[in-house]
Amino acid sequence: MTSMVQLALEEVRTLADRVLTGAGYSGDHARAISEMLYACQLDDCQSHGLFRLFMCRETMQAGKIDGHVLPELQPSQNAVVRVDAKGAMSLLAVETAMPVLIEKARRFGMAAMAVNNCYHFSALWPEVEQLSAAGLAGLSMVPSHAWVAPAGGTRGTLGTNPLAFSWPRRGKSPFTFDFATSAFARGEIELYLRAGKPLPDGVAVDADGKPTNDPQEALSGAMLTFGGYKGSALSIMIELLAGPLIDDLTSKESLRFADGKGGAPYHGQILLAFDPAHLSCGRVEANDSRAERLFADILDQGARLPSQRRFEARKRNLARGYVEIPATLHRDLHALQD
Amino acid sequence: MTSMVQLALEEVRTLADRVLTGAGYSGDHARAISEMLYACQLDDCQSHGLFRLFMCRETMQAGKIDGHVLPELQPSQNAVVRVDAKGAMSLLAVETAMPVLIEKARRFGMAAMAVNNCYHFSALWPEVEQLSAAGLAGLSMVPSHAWVAPAGGTRGTLGTNPLAFSWPRRGKSPFTFDFATSAFARGEIELYLRAGKPLPDGVAVDADGKPTNDPQEALSGAMLTFGGYKGSALSIMIELLAGPLIDDLTSKESLRFADGKGGAPYHGQILLAFDPAHLSCGRVEANDSRAERLFADILDQGARLPSQRRFEARKRNLARGYVEIPATLHRDLHALQD
């Protein structure tokens, strides 16, 4: 059992902020990043919470990121808002363009945000949940590093390419999912390696493209997508929509750009927003009830909706005013500040 | 080995047309449906080609479809084109709205088509390939009948909910996929039943919600989604985007509407179109090359792109001027006309 330490909610942001500004991020960037880490930590999502501060530092140490440059919004009269992160982390860019995306979705019925030239390390659900909080349905996709083989392939070409979606529910937590299109997250394989456990079948191939259950061989070989050829096709779609469609890098180009230096991958991001008021011809209430009957039918048979555990953690942590983080993480983060 | 019969290309359309008008479809509807069946038959897609004429007849015999009513395009100034099929088959409605979708995607950068109140039986790829033929990236989703259990569930709530995507490639067949989010297509389970073969694991549950390998028990129980909880989440997203978002039925409502009468499911359809010229800020050529490097890297390692078999069949059948259909199908279709 991991020993846990309590951290007051406000302390999560302050701690993150101190580490980030200490690492070389400007106040604006540190605040936008801390906000994301806070959202994840509040939901007990340890893998994408304060733990990611190490990656933020590594990214700075790799020497290419700009910790101070401000994102540039490119004005348009159409349904696409484009924001150039100019070689900084993605989060401030997305935050800057988010109100424009929401306004455009309401004006045009649907809209897209194209984020270019950004480092990206974060969960996608806090961003699509900003869209559902505004009454819109939101979708987001990013490439990553070419660690994942296509179906029938033997080497890394695709990223872990996550897909996140959120649907607004009145007076309730939204319907949200955010999953990697790889069978396992890369971090999960690292956990198996540390625990000395064999991987399940269908997760990875070795450097020769042969199926493997050895986590070390998997890390030097390639991961596989979830769901066989269908998951693979979906992952290729994400490469295209969050890469060439928006004039940004594929996972293979992103891996080459990193040049073995570590830190967060560098690429683009696409977010889509759909306005139910437009698309349902104003019959939002009737269609909300229809969606609720769908959710009820899923829950009635003992199945769960995605993200339920996150929402329960959020409620609990907000009520008690603190989160719990592993004692080792707490110690390592404090060591960073000395 | 199934015995096959050669059918001249033009005969595919004529045969379909005769059966459809004989069954009670107007000339316009028969032509639009025949066009879809021709596209599938040309690609040797037997499951969605002329074979579907039986379902078109059954749908008419179920007594609710209107075989003559024309779709109604609803004008808008935004990025959404809405077309009401008014209780007819989807295909004429989609055909009518397609030029508007293309025009809107070029004007706004991206656009959506919402098709309402339609019967739907067809493959999705011929429609998204019309978008890629116009230089756009296209996505399409539909619900179906509630035959599929959500992850962790025991009974049918979701449809087979297919997802189709097409990406334009200059001078080449597009990158296209079109797959059901159920582990198996319903027709596949029927084939296992007829062949007396047990289903693989993870395809279905019986009427009590227990895993089963028996095709008959699967048909009276529920199918499962591909890819576990991720495939299930994706299928729920498709229910929402192609249902409540556009003011149309979920798969459960569609099954209830059918009232055990058979024929094609009745519901809505959503198509999305993305203009690479807008979204890449005009750098289409450089990004086409980037996408081509991605495809080359997949093919170089011996993996296949989706739809390759279809494109090979299309080329072969166009060159020789005929398609091959099972002799039994040919006989049964001719019997319909007597």
Q: Which residue of chain A has the CA closest to B230? A: A179
A155 touches chain B (CB under 8 A): yes
B13 touches chain A (CB under 8 A): no
Residues A18 and A31 in one domain: yes
ipTM field:
0.97
> Quick check: is B277 in a domain?
no
Residues A233 and A298 in one domain: yes
A304 touches chain B (CB under 8 A): yes
Residues of B classed as catalytic: 47-48, 188
Cβ–Cβ below 8 Å for B287 and A245: yes
Residues A212 and A315 in one domain: no
> Quick check: is B50 in a domain?
yes
| Residue pair B247/A287 in contact by the 8 Å Cβ criterion | yes
Q: Which residue of chain B has the CA closest to A135? A: B245
Domain of B323?
1-62+309-338
Whether the pLDDT of residue A187 is over 90: the answer is no
Residues A129 and A274 in one domain: yes
Give SS3 for A7: strand
B73 touches chain A (CB under 8 A): no
Cβ–Cβ below 8 Å for B157 and A301: yes
A298 touches chain B (CB under 8 A): yes
> Quick check: is B286 in a domain?
no
CATH value at residue A213: 3.30.60.50
The one catalytic residue in A11, A47, A220, A334 is: A47
Write down the pLDDT at residue A186. Answer: 84
Whether the pLDDT of residue A214 is over 80: the answer is yes
| Chain B positions in Cβ-Cβ contact with residue A228 (cut-off 8 Å) | 226-227
CATH value at residue A86: 3.30.1370.60
Q: Helical H runs in chain B? A: 9-23, 27-42, 53-62, 90-108, 125-133, 186-195, 215-220, 228-241, 251-258, 276-279, 284-300, 308-320, 327-336
Residue A2 confidence class, pLDDT cut points 50, 70, 90: confident
Sign of the dihedral defined by the CA atoms of residues B322, B324, B328, B329, in that order: negative
B244 touches chain A (CB under 8 A): yes
Cβ–Cβ below 8 Å for B279 and A108: no
Write down the pLDDT at residue B189. Answer: 92
B206 touches chain A (CB under 8 A): no
The one catalytic residue in A72, A103, A188, A253 is: A188
Give which of A250, A241, A256 is closest to B137, Cα–Cα. A241
CATH value at residue B44: 1.10.1530.10
Query: How many CB atoms lie under 10 A from the CB of residue B259?
Result: 9
Cβ–Cβ below 8 Å for A280 and B226: no
How far apart (Å, rounded) are the C-alpha atoms in residues A57 and A67? 11
Write down the pLDDT at residue A338. Answer: 65
How far apart (Å, rounded) are the C-alpha atoms in residues B163 and B184? 14
Q: Which residue of chain A has the CA closest to B241? A: A137
Q: Which residue of chain B has the CA closest to A77? A: B108
Of the candidates B167, B252, B274, which has its C-beta nearest A294's C-beta? B252
A1 touches chain B (CB under 8 A): no
Contacts 24+ apart (CB under 8 A), A37-41: A37/A12, A38/A9, A38/A12, A38/A13, A39/A123, A39/A126, A40/A122, A40/A123, A40/A126, A41/A7, A41/A12, A41/A323, A41/A325
Residues A76 and A167 in one domain: yes
- The nearest CA of chain B is from the CA of A270 a distance in Å of 10
Pairing of strands A222-224, A148-149: parallel
- The nearest CA of chain B is from the CA of A283 a distance in Å of 7
Residues A133 and A73 in one domain: yes
Residues A52 and A135 in one domain: no
Residues A247 and A331 in one domain: no
As for how many domains chain A has, the answer is 3
Whether the pLDDT of residue A310 is over 80: the answer is yes
Q: Which residue of chain B has the CA closest to A288? A: B244
Residue A89 confidence class, pLDDT cut points 50, 70, 90: very high
- The nearest CA of chain A is from the CA of B71 a distance in Å of 17
Residues A209 and A254 in one domain: no
Give which of B124, B75, B76, B79 is closest to B274, Cα–Cα. B79
| Chain B positions in Cβ-Cβ contact with residue A294 (cut-off 8 Å) | 157, 236, 239-240, 243-244, 250, 252
B245 touches chain A (CB under 8 A): yes
A152 touches chain B (CB under 8 A): yes
Chain A interface, best mutation among B80, B188, B239, by max A CB count within 10 A: B80
**Per-residue pLDDT reduced to its tens digit, A133-160:** 999 999 999 999 999 999 999 999 999 9
- The nearest CA of chain A is from the CA of B261 a distance in Å of 23
How far apart (Å, rounded) are the C-alpha atoms in residues A303 and A307? 12
Whether the pLDDT of residue A185 is over 90: the answer is no
Cβ–Cβ below 8 Å for B108 and A79: yes
- The nearest CA of chain B is from the CA of A235 a distance in Å of 12
Q: Which residue of chain B has the CA closest to A159? A: B294
Write down the pLDDT at residue B131. Answer: 98
**Per-residue pLDDT reduced to its tens digit, A23-46:** 999 999 999 999 999 999 999 999
Residues A315 and A216 in one domain: no
CB proximity list for A311: less than 8 A, separation 6 or greater: A43, A173
Residues A312 and A265 in one domain: no
Give which of A31, A37, A45, A30 is closest to A12, Cα–Cα. A37
Cβ–Cβ below 8 Å for B294 and A233: no
| Residue pair A177/B225 in contact by the 8 Å Cβ criterion | no
B34 touches chain A (CB under 8 A): no
| Chain B positions in Cβ-Cβ contact with residue A302 (cut-off 8 Å) | 152-154
> Which of A148-177 are b and which e, b meaning 16 or more Cβ less than 10 Å from the residue's Cβ?
bbbbebbbbbbbbbbbbbbbbbeeebbbbb
> Which of A83-93 are b and which e, b meaning 16 or more Cβ less than 10 Å from the residue's Cβ?
bbbeebbbbbb
Residues A217 and A236 in one domain: no
A184 touches chain B (CB under 8 A): no
Average pLDDT over residues A204-218: 95
Alpha carbons within 13 A on the beta-carbon side of B34? 20
Q: Phi-psi region for residue B243, left (φ > 0), alpha (ψ -120 to 50) or beta?
A: alpha
Of the candidates B179, B253, B276, which has its C-beta nearest A230's C-beta? B179
Average pLDDT over residues A244-251: 98
**Per-residue pLDDT reduced to its tens digit, A191-207:** 899 899 999 999 999 99
Task: Give the DSSP letter of residue B244.
Answer: G
Residues of chain B under the 70 pLDDT cut: 1, 338
Write down the pLDDT at residue B336. Answer: 84
Write down the pLDDT at residue B2. Answer: 79
Cβ–Cβ below 8 Å for A252 and B111: no
| Residue pair B173/B309 in contact by the 8 Å Cβ criterion | no
Tell me how far the alpha carbon of residue A129 is from its chain's centroid. 12
The backbone torsions φ and ψ at residue A36, rounded to the nearest 5 degrees and listed phi first, read -65, -45
Rounded to whole angstroms, what are the CA distances from A6 to A90, A309, A322, A323, A324? Answer: 29, 19, 6, 6, 5
How far apart (Å, rounded) are the C-alpha atoms in residues A64 and A71? 16
Write down the pLDDT at residue A201. Answer: 94
> Would you call A334 a catalytic residue per the annotation?
no
A279 touches chain B (CB under 8 A): yes
Pairing of strands B222-224, B204-205: antiparallel
Of the candidates A137, A231, A301, which has its C-beta nearest B154's C-beta? A301
Write down the pLDDT at residue A205. Answer: 96
The radius of gyration computed from the CA coordinates of chain B, to the nearest angstrom, equals: 20
Write down the pLDDT at residue A96. Answer: 98
> Would you call A188 a catalytic residue per the annotation?
yes
- The pTM of the full predicted model, rounded to 2 decimals, is 0.97
Rounded to whole angstroms, what are the CA distances from B245 to A220, B35, B50? Answer: 43, 29, 32
The two structure tokens encoding residue A177: 């999912």
Q: Which residue of chain B has the CA closest to A106? A: B78
Q: Which residue of chain B has the CA closest to A112? A: B110
Write down the pLDDT at residue A188. Answer: 87
- The nearest CA of chain B is from the CA of A252 a distance in Å of 8
A193 touches chain B (CB under 8 A): no
Cβ–Cβ below 8 Å for B247 and A179: no
B241 touches chain A (CB under 8 A): yes
Q: Tell me, what amino acid is at A104?
A: K
